Amino acid sequence: MTATSLMLKTVRGCNLACSYCYTADSALPHVEIMDVGLATDIIAQQMALVAGKSAVSFGWQGGEPTLAGLPFFEQIVAAEARYAPDGTVISNDLQTNGVLIDDSFADFLATYKFLVGLSLDGPRHLQDAARKDKAGRGSFGRTMAAFERLALRGVDVNALCVVGPHNIKSAPEVLGFFAAQGFTHVQLVPAMGFGCNEPSAYPKYLVSASQYGGFLCELLQAWMSLREPRPCVQVIDDALRASSGQAPAICTHANTCDAGLVIDTNGDVYPCDFYQSALACLGNLHERPLLEMWQSARLPDFASRKGQLPAACRACSWLCLCRGGCPRNRPSDSAPDALCEAYGSFYGKMDEMGLLKG
């Protein structure tokens, strides 16, 4: 199995202390940054593996990846240019809170056409309720300053909005804010009450499935009331795509779990961002080459878990849209995704509004 997508956990550590962090990076005593030599070697190996293919993508995440510093990323794009086979289209995306994006960083991201995911939970009073720095100061002003710098330079910016107790009752306000600010794409993530390094922990969220379903339904109604062009909200877009027979963009509602590999700061490799544990680790790049990770027999086994559906999922009329959700979210092998009720309410509302085909 060889794919063209890698996610690199560039930094372990964060300059914020968000109330719902699922990595607990803000609690680390010091920041751990991926060695640029390791990152360069990963790029070289991946480029060799994609020879003959047309595209390759790298996702840079954390923690907060900008803590690695601008010189780190300057060396990254230099390595990509050095090792890329002729004709390869290189895509980079950066998930960030934006706090450290100054004019120089914004210039760089514009020059190399990075797609930037900006962590933003709505207007100031909602953002600052949950996304504070370690001194207790809200991050809204700094995050929005980053958005303005990036927008001024024509950088594509998507909003990543965590839905938690701080904004669960504010769906229309959240969407209205993003639309008014000019965001064209919004991804919603329900706040998790378990960590990415706890794959066997019960999938408890900080909002209930009923609450999240209500949020999605209210957001959908608000979305329909907006004038064109509306922001693309991923959960809405994926449902529309699935009802038209197209593949959804997010792995949660895809047929298989094979979005790519996740590489931790120390070189450990995992099949998924939500399975960062010793049991799921495919190996370490200081000891084994990247090709062996892609060819691991454990990857197809992991991908096949998506299709091992509980009886309730197999009998559900929304299976064609939900595709069983995320295996990580199943409380047991016989239970559906913990957010099943939310998805059912949301799809039912879409169907009631005549948005679904078939």
Rg (CA), the chain: 20
Predicted local confidence at residue 305, as pLDDT: 84
Closest CA to 260 of 6, 43, 89: 6
* Cβ neighbourhood burial of 245 (10 Å; 0-12, 13-18, 19+): exposed
Rounded Cα–Cα distance for residues 330 and 344 (Å)? 15
Predicted local confidence at residue 26, as pLDDT: 59
Residues (pLDDT < 50) of the chain are: 1
Predicted local confidence at residue 1, as pLDDT: 42
* Cβ neighbourhood burial of 140 (10 Å; 0-12, 13-18, 19+): buried
Predicted local confidence at residue 176, as pLDDT: 98
Provide the whole-model pTM: 0.95
Q: Are 328 and 199 in contact (CB under 8 A)?
A: yes
* Cβ neighbourhood burial of 229 (10 Å; 0-12, 13-18, 19+): exposed
In a 3-state reduction of DSSP, which class is residue 159? strand
- Residue 269 belongs to what H/E stretch? strand 268-270
